[in-house]
Amino acid sequence: MSLINLAESYAYATVITGGVFGNSPVGLLGFDGAGAGAGTGTAMTTTGAGLTLQSIIGDPGSSFDSMQSSFMANYQAMAVQAIGIGITFKFAKKLLRKPISNVNRNLMKPLGIGVRL
């Protein structure tokens, strides 16, 4: 399991859940009261409070309407952010290839926990 790839996946999940559900991935599960972009400075707009799985199950009709309107309002910002995330991680991995390899080889491999940077 790669921690860098996990961070990249979480960044993509944050963009999607923020733009469609108006909430963070953790908030979507109902564990976090913060809405989309809390502390991140995103330019996405929300159409009310962020949705959670509980609210989607409780009232699917209005939840899906809200998700549709949020997506239509935010799809351009989501696309720009997703492209930015991809470019950032691609260049960061290339620039930090030697230090990452060093940490994996000298720190993570001897631990034997199956995790790499």
pLDDT digits (tens, 9 = 90+) for 58-111: 999 999 999 999 999 999 999 999 999 999 999 999 999 999 999 999 988 888
117 inside domain: no
Model pLDDT, residue 35: 45
pLDDT at 33 over 60: no
Model pLDDT, residue 38: 45
- Give the chain's domain count: 1
48 inside domain: yes
Q: CA 63, CA 52: separation in Å to the nearest integer?
A: 9
Residues 6+ away with beta carbon under 8 Å from 79: none
What residue type is assigned to position 62 of the chain? Answer: S
pTM of this structure: 0.79
Q: Containing domain of residue 66, as a range? A: 3-111
Neighbours of 4 (CB within 10 A): 14
96 inside domain: yes
Q: What is the mean pLDDT of residues 47-66?
A: 85
